[in-house]
Amino acid sequence: MWQVVGQTRAVSLLQHSLERGVLAHAYLFVGPPHVGKMKLALNLAQALNCEAAEPPCGECDSCQKIDLVKHADVQIIGLTYNGNSAEAKLRAEISIDQIRDVQHSANLPPFEGKYKVFIIDGAELLSSEAANCLLKTLEEPIDRVIFILLTTNEQLLPATVVSRCQRVELPPLAASEVEAILNQRGIEPQKAKLVARLCHGCPGWALSAAMDGDLLQQRAERIDRLLDIINADYEERFAYAGQLATEFSQSRGAVQEILNLWVDWWHDLLLVKVGCGDIITNVDLEDRLIDSARGYGLAQIRAVINGIQAAGEQLGQNANPRLVLEVLMLGIPKGKEGTVKYG
């Protein structure tokens, strides 16, 4: 009935609360991007408003409208919802005006359903004024109104807001679990195996990557660039650092994704090196990894992983991106093989 993939613990907690009529007025769903937070929130909204005997049925009028985000009593608030998209794209925070609108709407009775549900996507992006405003609403619960806050990083939320919510953690799934789900959905086995590893337990990403070739194409290009850089001279490395720094000013997420991919690559080298090649992430590039691993010592690989992770942390702490990335580029040891070419 619940359509969220995996997350049996979270689902049984919510199911149990629904059955016993002991729902919280506010929930905080915590988990990495694409793990299923929005799906679970919509499922809970369906369960609250479903017209069938065993909610959420997923088929009644109410469930279908919620699935399409067209139900009058279920609202999603975030950077890219509510308001025209051009304006939304410019926004970096969830504003106090958005939360004031929510407060106004929360005080009106449900329009077509049984419960009003407000889903705040990316709650860590609430401006401090917006968070304070929301806190007032959370402190005075309204009958038949439920808030669901979704976040990838609860540390960025005020403790006062967190303490008003029932916390529900959505951990990453095991790769085997994601692979089984993809197989069930008819994805060809080899592709299912690859994206199940690449998604790091987040089935939303795996499903997108399996259905739409762009994500895998982008990953292939990023890996090619990484391998170029490993064999490049300092001049080219500095140029790439500059390019990444510019990209960082436009999209922090994209650069973090590239760094994550780099960590995966070096972590795979480590695994190959210690004879655990069966659990690598980049399963389609095993031969390349085996070949490349010959050129490095374990300590060298560990140092690179530490360097990439440190760079990621420094970027998160607003260090000068160009400087951080240049230091990173300098620290990457050249591959020793250079003899085997792949086309």
Contacting residues toward Zn ion, per CB under 5 A = 50, 52, 57, 60, 63
Least distance to Zn ion from the beta carbon of 172, Å? Answer: 29
| Nearest to 14, CA basis, from 42, 46, 54, 44 | 44
Encoded amino acid at 225, one letter: R
- Is residue 70 exposed (0-12), middle (13-18) or buried (19+ Cβ within 10 Å)? exposed
Q: Is residue 27 within 8 Å of 166, Cβ to Cβ? A: yes
Q: Which residues does residue 118 pair with via DSSP β-bridges, in sequence order?
A: 75, 147
Least distance to Zn ion from the beta carbon of 54, Å? Answer: 9
Least distance to Zn ion from the beta carbon of 140, Å? Answer: 30
Compare residues 17 and 82 and give the one whose CB is closer to Zn ion.
Answer: 17
Q: Name the E strands within the chain.
A: 26-30, 74-77, 116-121, 145-151, 166-169
Compare residues 52 and 135 and give the one whose CB is closer to Zn ion.
Answer: 52
- Measured CA to CA, the distance from residue 46 to residue 63 in angstroms comes to 5
- Measured CA to CA, the distance from residue 258 to residue 214 in angstroms comes to 15
Q: Is 125 left (phi over 0), alpha (psi -120 to 50) or beta?
A: alpha
Compare residues 63 and 175 and give the one whose CB is closer to Zn ion.
Answer: 63
Compare residues 63 and 145 and give the one whose CB is closer to Zn ion.
Answer: 63
DSSP labels, 83-108: S-HHHHHH--SB-HHHHHHHHHHHTS
Compare residues 50 and 161 and give the one whose CB is closer to Zn ion.
Answer: 50
**Crossing angle, helix 234-250 and helix 321-330, to 10 degrees?**
150
Compare residues 3 and 183 and give the one whose CB is closer to Zn ion.
Answer: 3
Q: Is residue 148 within 8 Å of 44, Cβ to Cβ? A: yes
Tokens linked to 189: 């086995």
Compare residues 52 and 142 and give the one whose CB is closer to Zn ion.
Answer: 52
Encoded amino acid at 130, one letter: A
Look at residue 170 and give its three-state secondary structure: coil
Element (H, E) at 82: none
Least distance to Zn ion from the beta carbon of 86, Å? Answer: 35
Least distance to Zn ion from the beta carbon of 58, Å? Answer: 6
Compare residues 144 and 302 and give the one whose CB is closer to Zn ion.
Answer: 144
| Nearest to 329, CA basis, from 243, 257, 268, 271 | 243
Least distance to Zn ion from the beta carbon of 59, Å? Answer: 6
Side-chain half-sphere CA neighbours of 13 within 13 A? 13
Tokens linked to 62: 């109410």
Least distance to Zn ion from the beta carbon of 71, Å? Answer: 11
Least distance to Zn ion from the beta carbon of 70, Å? Answer: 14
* Residues making up the chain, counted from first to last: 343
Compare residues 60 and 79 and give the one whose CB is closer to Zn ion.
Answer: 60
Least distance to Zn ion from the beta carbon of 56, Å? Answer: 5
